[in-house]
Amino acid sequence: MENIELELALQIIGESVNQISNTEKVNIEEARGRIIGQDIYAPINQPPFNRSPLDGYALKSEDTLGASKDNPIKLKVVDEVFAGGDINTILKNKQAIRIMTGAEIPEGADCVIRQESTNYDMNEVEIYSELKRYENYCFAGEDVKKGSKLISKGEKLTYIHIGLLAVMGITQVLVQRKPKVGIISTGDEIISVGQTLGKGKIYDSNRVAISMRLLDFGCEIVSSKIISDEVHYVSEEIYNLIDKVDVIITTGGVSVGKKDIMHEVIKTINANRLFWRVKMKPGTPAIYSIYKNKPIISLSGNPFAAIATFEIMGKELIYKLTGDIDLKQIRVKSIMEDDFLKSSKGRRIVRGIYKNNKVYLPEGGHSPGMMSSMLGCNCLIDIKPGTKQLLKGDEVDIILI
C-alpha cells in the first residue's frame, strides 16, 4: 500500500506483530521498569506478626477500665521488647511490657498505650485513660495477607512494586524479555560522533537519538551501525541481524532519490513491504516491511522527520511488542498559545510544548532537518489537512511524547 492515512499505518503495525512471550528470571534490583511475566502471590503475611505502631507499653485493655487523670491505674512493668527482638514473656493481668515501634506484641497483650500518655516510675507505669481492645495494635497480615495477589502478569514494575517484593522476601521474578532492536543509519554523508568532520559530512544524530529513546522504552540495542549507501551492504547487515533481533529500524534512503536505496534493499532480501508513504509531513516516505516475521521500519534521514515518525509509529510498534501501557499513544485536545502561520495542505506534525492544557511553539525553525528546536518539547501537534493557519486560542489535537 502507498500514500495511506496515519491511522491505517498504525493499524497495520499493530496487526503485524505479536507480544513477546519469552521470559527471563532477574534479581529484583534489576527488575524496575520491566514487564512482569507472572502473577505474584504473597508468600508471607505482612507484617508477619502482630506489632506495635509506636513506642509505649503493651497491656491488657481490661486492666485500664476506670483509668483517668484523677484515678490512674498502676501496672507493673515486667519486661521490654525492641524491634527485631524476641520475647517469651506471657503478659498477665495488672502487668505491662515496655515496647518499641515495630516490635512484636507479646502474648496476652491486646493493646498498646503511647509512652507520652503515661508516667513511668521505677518498675511501674501509670495509666490515665481507658484503652479499647486492639487499640494501637497492628495485626499480622494487616497490610498484605499470605496468599493474596500482589502483582498481576503484564504490569510494569515500579519502585513500589520492587519494595513490596523485597518486604515479602522475594529475591527474583520472571519478567518479559526485553525487545531486541537493531539500528541502521544509511548514508555516505554521515559519520560517527568523535570522528573528524570532513567536507560534506555530518554527524549521525538519528541513530544515537533513536537508540536513547529505545532505552527509554525498555529495549535492548543489539546492534547500531552506519552503513554505506549500497544495496548489498545494507542487505547484508539485515541478513546478519534478522535472527538476533525482534525489530530493525533504519534511517535514510526511503524517498525517490538516486541514493534512496531502501526500496531496492527490501526487494533484494525479499521482504514483504506493507506500506510506503504515510499522509503526514514530515516523515511521509516511511516504509514498513516484514522479513522472516520480523518488522523493519524505515524512516526518513532528516532528524526531526525521523524522530517524529519514530515517536508515532516506532513507539506503537514497541508498545505492541511489549504491552507496556506507558507506551500507548496518548492524544489530548489543547489550546494554541502561539500562532503557527504556515498553511498545511496535508496533515502536518509540528513540535510543541504542552503545559497547563495549553500548547506553545518552541523557539527556532520547524524544518524536518532541524533537531535543536525539539529541546524541551513534550508533544507533537497534529494539524489537520487543509488548515490555512493556526492562531492563538485555536483548539488542536496533540500527541504526548
Whether the CA torsion 27, 33, 39, 45 is positive or negative: it is positive
What is the percent of the chain where pLDDT is above 70?
A: 100
Q: In the predicted model, what is the mean pLDDT of residues 183-190?
A: 94
Q: pLDDT digits over 77-118, tens only? A: 999 999 999 999 999 999 999 999 999 999 999 999 999 999
Q: pLDDT digits over 201-245, tens only? A: 999 999 999 999 999 999 999 999 999 999 999 999 999 999 999
Name the pLDDT band for 29 (thresholds 50, 70, 90): very high
Q: For 161-165, 180-184, 360-364, which range has the lowest pLDDT when averaged over its residues?
A: 360-364
Q: Which residue has the cell 516490635?
A: 103
Which residues make Cβ contacts (< 8 Å) with residue 138, sequence separation at least 6? Answer: 47, 50, 51, 52, 53
Distance CA 173, CA 183 (A): 30
The residue type of 152 is S
Distance CA 12, CA 6 (A): 10
Domains of the chain: 2-21+177-327 (3.40.980.10), 23-46+142-176 (3.90.105.10), 56-127 (2.170.190.11), 330-400 (2.40.340.10)
**Whole-number pLDDT of residue 226:** 96
Average pLDDT taken over every residue of the chain: 95
Q: pLDDT digits over 365-401, tens only? A: 777 778 888 899 999 999 999 998 999 999 999 999 9
> CB count, 10 Å around CB of 200?
7
pTM of the model: 0.88
Name the pLDDT band for 22 (thresholds 50, 70, 90): very high
Distance CA 296, CA 316 (A): 13
Q: Return phi, psi of residue 63, to 5°.
A: -75, -10
Cβ atoms of residues 339 and 389 within 8 Å: yes
| CA nearest to 48, candidates 104, 100, 99, 98 | 104
Which residues make Cβ contacts (< 8 Å) with residue 6, sequence separation at least 6? Answer: 278, 279, 280, 312, 347
> CB count, 10 Å around CB of 124?
12
Distance CA 5, CA 138 (A): 59
Cβ atoms of residues 187 and 253 within 8 Å: yes
**Whole-number pLDDT of residue 259:** 72
**Whole-number pLDDT of residue 121:** 86
Name the pLDDT band for 326 (thresholds 50, 70, 90): very high
Q: Return phi, psi of residue 165, to 5°.
A: -60, -40
**Whole-number pLDDT of residue 364:** 77
